[in-house]
Amino acid sequence: MYSAQKELDVLKKVYGEQEIPENIKNEIFTRYSLEEHLLVRKLRRKKQIKGFLVTIALLAVTTSSLLFSDQARSFAEDLPIIGPAVRLLLGEQLSDKGITIDVPQVMTSESEENETISGLNKKYFREGKVEFEKAKMEYQDIEKGHFQVTGDYRKVLDDTRFLVIERNLTKTAADSYTEKRYDTIDKQNSVVLSLPLLFKDDQYISTLTKEVKRQMSEQVNENPEKYYWTNKDFQEGVEEIPLVTKDTPFYINKNHELVLVYDQFAIAPGYMGNPEFVIPKAITNKLLATSDYLDR
């Protein structure tokens, strides 16, 4: 059963037990804001007026202990909601010789600019510019006729709950290499999700790692054409990476399941492309900060 007080107590405990860097502090504040918003919506939906003022007082006290007072949001205000009409447009095309990078721009039907969407658009342009300049430097060191860089994008999911944007960067020289990056936006709460934000503690790292290893083994046993790096490969010089970290690329699919994504060559030979692993809700729901978050 959902308990706002339990979620807030967890956040308070995390804050109190360690010195928190600024980026982690922002994660906690975002998590708190999301929980606050979910609580307000739930109370309104069930028309539970009794005890509402007491709950708000609890929220206020907890916030003051979590963050500086000037960072606290007003409890009378809901977080901005991203409307159902979301368009993904070509914001800018950066091109030079064998390089073409399409930079996406997210547009909504909201009359006022949404801070989350505005932040995404700025990030897309900034990162697109960085990749463009990096590609130009690499182009100088490779035979011009054998080097190409393309960057594009697409919407993976756009429903009432989530917006998922995929960005691809493919570099082709003697061989081809593709990076995929995802942004998953909670449209109801206007929050860009991260793994630390989704889960209640770091236990998800070991649990998801175990599940990815299980699926890898299962796939190889069922299909001999599939192959993932083994200890033998690592001993021969292949770099071994952690299967799950707080920065592992992921997205939410149409069934609202967590999907972990890996770069080409990161955990398997290049012909395996960008491996993906769908994590069952039976596993994620036990780890989420709010157990039914993906079922709403």
Give the pLDDT confidence score for residue 175 in this predicted structure: 82
Domain with residue 261: its CATH number is: 3.90.640.20
Residues 121 and 217 in one domain: no
Percent of the chain with pLDDT over 90: 60
Q: How confident is the model over 213-233, as pLDDT tens digits?
A: 999 999 999 999 999 999 999
Please give the structure tokens belonging to residue 156: 């993976």
Work out the pLDDT band at 103, boundaries 50, 70, 90. Answer: very high
pLDDT at position 279 over 80? yes
CA distance 183 to 163: 8
Q: Which of 83, 149, 77 is nearest to 117 (CA)?
A: 83
Q: Are residues 101 and 203 in the same domain?
A: no
Alpha-carbon gap, residue 159 to 155, rounded angstroms = 11
Q: Find the mean pLDDT for residues 89-113.
A: 88
266 in a structural domain: yes
Tell me the pLDDT band of 39, cut-offs 50, 70 and 90: low
Does 62 map to a domain? no
Give the DSSP letter of residue 7.
H
- Taking only the tens place, the pLDDT of each residue in 7-34 is 555 545 544 555 555 555 555 556 555 6
More confident: 61 or 126? 126
| Orientation angle between helical segments 52-66 and 22-46, nearest 10 degrees | 180
Burial (CB count <10 Å: 0-12, 13-18, 19+), residue 261? middle
pLDDT of residue 288: 97
- Dist. CA 235–CA 278, nearest whole Å: 29
**Domain end point (choices 168, 193, 218):** 193
Pair (224, 255) in one structural domain: yes
The verdict on residue 164 lying in a domain is yes
Residue 108: what pLDDT? 86
**Do 230 and 182 share a structural domain?**
no
pTM above 0.75, yes or no: no
Q: How many domains does the chain have?
A: 2
**Selection from 39, 45, 107 nearest residue 78 by Cα:** 39
Please, what's the b/e burial string for 222-260 (b: 16 or more CB within 10 A of its CB; e: otherwise)? Answer: eeeebebbeeeeeeeeeeeeebbeeebbbbbeeebebbb
- Do 187 and 199 fall into the same domain? no
CA proximity to 260, closest of 215, 295, 226, 197: 215
Residue 45 falls inside a structural domain: no
In the structure, what pLDDT confidence band is assigned to residue 137 with cuts at 50, 70 and 90?
confident
* Residues 223 and 174 grouped into a single domain: no
Residues 263, 161 share a domain: no
Query: For residue 22, what pLDDT is reported?
Result: 58
One domain for residues 95 and 189: yes
Residue 260 lies in a domain: yes
User: Degrees (nearest 5) of the Cα angle 113, 116, 118?
Assistant: 50
Predicted pLDDT at 82: 72
Give the pLDDT mean for 68-86: 46
How would DSSP label each residue in 217-256?
HHHHHH-TT-----HHHHHTTPPP--S--TT--EEE-TTS
Q: Span 56-65, mean pLDDT?
A: 41
Q: Are residues 212 and 140 in contact, defined by beta-carbon separation less than 8 angstroms?
A: no
- d(CA 79, CA 66) in angstroms, rounded, equals 19
In the structure, what pLDDT confidence band is assigned to residue 2 with cuts at 50, 70 and 90? very low
Looking at 137, 168, 193, the residue that finishes a domain is: 193
155: domain CATH number?
Answer: 3.30.565.40
Of 193, 209, 238, the domain-final residue: 193
Taking the C-alpha atoms of residue 31 and residue 253, their distance in angstroms, rounded to an integer, is 21
Residue 163 structural domain: 80-193
pLDDT tens digits, 139-188:
776 665 678 999 999 999 999 999 999 999 999 887 889 999 999 999 99
